[in-house]
Structure 1
Amino acid sequence: MTSSDVHRSGFACFVGRPNAGKSTLTNRLVGSKVAITSSKPQTTRHAIRGIVHRPDAQLIIVDTPGLHRPRTLLGRRLNDLVYETWSEVDVVGFCVPADQKVGPGDKFIAEQLKKVARRTPVLGIVTKTDLVPKEQVAQQLLDLQQVMDFADLVPVSAVDSFQVDVLSDLLVQQLPEGPQLYPDGELTDEPETTLIAELIREAALEGVRDELPHSLAVTVEEMIPREDRDDLIDVHAVVYVERQSQKSIVIGKGGERLRAVGTQARKHIQALLGSKIYLDLHVKVAKDWQRDPRQLRKLGF
């Protein structure tokens, strides 16, 4: 077998501070929206798997929540999810945005990654290079190099696809030889209900005050084809908040804000399912759910 006949398959994950561009990069590599993106930090709450199909490899990217100093039980569980993922993948990509100086949060993550790097290669990735001049990208690469020893360093931009193919090659080089793990055409192994809940949460996150994002959770209660129509699916979902005042914010004056959330989410859900949908959205209060183990379990954490 020649080197060109070798097929590799395995798992990679991106880590970094909240809002370092991990989800956008995952979606760009996969070529489809499998992870929600938002300008709000700590948006990702599940380890979403996106599948990259190449003739020479199958790369499964696990998009993890941003590592942070937790203030709630939810925060601690999200951090545990990140550490657990690190121990299971073949290569880790450490994402640092080009438009923010390497700071204490990055150095904290690097210290944790040094323990992993003994057995798992770690790539340094400078993201969001489209936001700054080339000189600043070069300086960021030099600064990142001082933080730890990387198997490789690469600057990328998911927005304009700059060097995304180079990153894909570098990740694949670190994978073991092996057959496909998922069928052709499959882009994620997440249940549709999880992806739909995430798309609704993404729509609900846009334009809300900074303290609200962490208090939002979404569950899909039911998803059934309409009895008298074969081209329509009824989706019943609930947006949970922690306080009555937050419920008013999500619903908006006369229900205007919730209707806008539904309109935006419906567009993405229809693209995901390839079918028209009727989206029935309700908002409920689950008091202090981020700190309540019973409610966290109910909401899937």
Structure 2
Amino acid sequence: MSEALPTSDFRAGFVAVIGKPNVGKSTLINYFVGRKVSIVSPRPQTTRRRILGIVNLPNAQIVFVDTPGIHKPKYKLGEQMVEAALGSLPDADLILFVCDVSRLPSDEDKQIAEILQKEARVPIILVLNKMDRLLPDKVKPHTEAYWQLVPHHADWMMTNAVKGHNCDKLLEIILKHLPSNLPFFPPDQVTDQPARLFAAEIIREKVLLHTYQEVPYGIGVAIERWEERPNGVLAITATIYVERESHKGIVIGEGGKMLKKIGQRAREELELWLGRRIYLELWVKVRERWRDQPAFFQQLES
């Protein structure tokens, strides 16, 4: 039996998720998709490139565009990240401006609001995330501050993306603003990320989660080998790049214990995500100031 075609009332569109670093953009998208398509960590600027998270519903397909946090870049990698975030605006059918409502608007929030006022040609939904951290006496002043920051917003919702609070209501708002369209992707596709790149991201996430208090942002991961073995095991060899010799020692740990923990956590998640047995081998190398070397960090994404 052939698959039924979408009806004329089917809605589909691209939703750009914009905001400063560490406000919960990736967490929100992962919640909607129902599985991890974008890594998360307590470290700002975890997301480095544009990632699609695709939500398939009976009468709609929402293509969320997870973007790097907009910030003042210090390296060429940061410049590319901001360009990727702003580059998602022209093709968007809707924009979610995600903010941390537990805090008053920062200079970065104000900068993003100014950019949206100039560049946005589609409706903007104001998402006031981290409502669980908002003190009762701060609800009115904080929400009003964000309303004034984006007075032209089409709608708004307060959310807790970690717990999913009000996310269903936000989804209803999003659907209301999507145009009538045929789906852009097959109904079983949840992301546009190749498996190799996702594996590199998962490894980087585990490094950030286990060393974020000691190692700064200069973590890159390159997949060196991706080999299908006759016994069905997928063998992956990856190199973790750091910018200083001292950071290499932290990632490896005493007697290799930290690297072993990172590898174990990454392997466990990759096996769940890919649904197969994984053999994972990790190496750590120093490459000074790699974030200022465009040819190198573009190579990491190939």
* TM-score (structure 2 length as normaliser): 0.93
Unaligned runs of 5+ in 2: 1-6
Q: Cα deviation per residue 1:205-253 (whole Å; 9 max; x = unaligned)?
A: 01324573420011112222222x12x2111111111121111111111
- Please say if residues 241 and 247 of structure 1, whose CA atoms lie closer than 8 Å, have aligned partners that are also in contact: yes
Amino acid at match of 1:143: A
Question: What residue is the counterpart of 1:121 in the other structure?
Answer: 123
> How far off is 1:174 after superposition?
2.0
Distance 1:137 1:49, change over 3 A: farther
> Secondary structure at the residue paired with 1:41?
coil
After TM superposition, the runs of 4+ consecutive aligned structure 1 residues lying more than 6 A away are none
Aligned alpha-carbon RMSD (Å) = 1.7
> How far off is 1:296 after superposition?
2.4
> How far off is 1:5 after superposition?
5.9
Q: Cα deviation per residue 1:123-174 (whole Å; 9 max; x = unaligned)?
A: 1100011223455344322110010220111111112211111111212222
Question: What residue is the counterpart of 2:246 in the other structure?
Answer: 245
Distance 1:101 1:273, change over 3 A: same
Amino acid at match of 1:250: V
Of residues 147, 150, 159 in structure 1, which corresponds to 2:149? 147
> Secondary structure at the residue paired with 1:68?
coil
Distance 1:54 1:63 in 2: 19
Question: What residue is the counterpart of 1:215 in the other structure?
Answer: 218
Q: Cα deviation per residue 1:20-76 (whole Å; 9 max; x = unaligned)?
A: 000000000111110101001100012110001111210000110100001111111
> How far off is 1:287 after superposition?
1.7
Alignment of 1:281-292 (within 5 A): 281-292=282-293
> Secondary structure at the residue paired with 2:217?
helix
Distance 1:289 1:93, change over 3 A: same
Question: What residue is the counterpart of 1:298 in the other structure?
Answer: 299
The aligned length equals: 295
Distance 2:274 2:119 in 1: 38
> Secondary structure at the residue paired with 1:71?
coil
> Secondary structure at the residue paired with 2:157?
strand
* TM-score (structure 1 length as normaliser): 0.93
- Please say if residues 18 and 68 of structure 1, whose CA atoms lie closer than 8 Å, have aligned partners that are also in contact: yes
Question: What residue is the counterpart of 1:67 in the other structure?
Answer: 70
Of residues 181, 188, 199 in structure 1, which corresponds to 2:202? 199
Question: What residue is the counterpart of 1:44 in the other structure?
Answer: 47
Alignment of 1:66-145 (within 5 A): 66-117=69-120, 119-133=121-135, 136-145=138-147
Distance 1:263 1:185 in 2: 29
Distance 1:137 1:36 in 2: 29
Distance 1:251 1:211 in 2: 12
- Please say if residues 5 and 56 of structure 1, whose CA atoms lie closer than 8 Å, have aligned partners that are also in contact: no
Question: What residue is the counterpart of 2:175 in the other structure?
Answer: 172
Distance 1:209 1:36 in 2: 14
Distance 2:214 2:82 in 1: 19
Distance 1:259 1:268 in 2: 14
Distance 1:269 1:13, change over 3 A: same
Amino acid at match of 1:234: A
- Please say if residues 210 and 262 of structure 2, whose CA atoms lie closer than 8 Å, have aligned partners that are also in contact: no
Unaligned runs of 5+ in 1: none
Question: What residue is the counterpart of 2:11 in the other structure?
Answer: 8
Distance 1:265 1:138, change over 3 A: farther
Q: Cα deviation per residue 1:61-109 (whole Å; 9 max; x = unaligned)?
A: 0110100001111111111111111121111111111222212111111
Which deviates more, 265-274 or 206-215?
A: 206-215
Distance 1:89 1:112, change over 3 A: same
Amino acid at match of 1:266: R
- Please say if residues 102 and 135 of structure 2, whose CA atoms lie closer than 8 Å, have aligned partners that are also in contact: no
Distance 1:89 1:69 in 2: 23
Alignment of 1:172-191 (within 5 A): 172-191=175-194
Question: What residue is the counterpart of 1:262 in the other structure?
Answer: 263
Distance 2:187 2:212 in 1: 41
Distance 1:284 1:273 in 2: 27
Which deviates more, 5-14 or 198-207?
A: 5-14
- Please say if residues 224 and 237 of structure 2, whose CA atoms lie closer than 8 Å, have aligned partners that are also in contact: yes
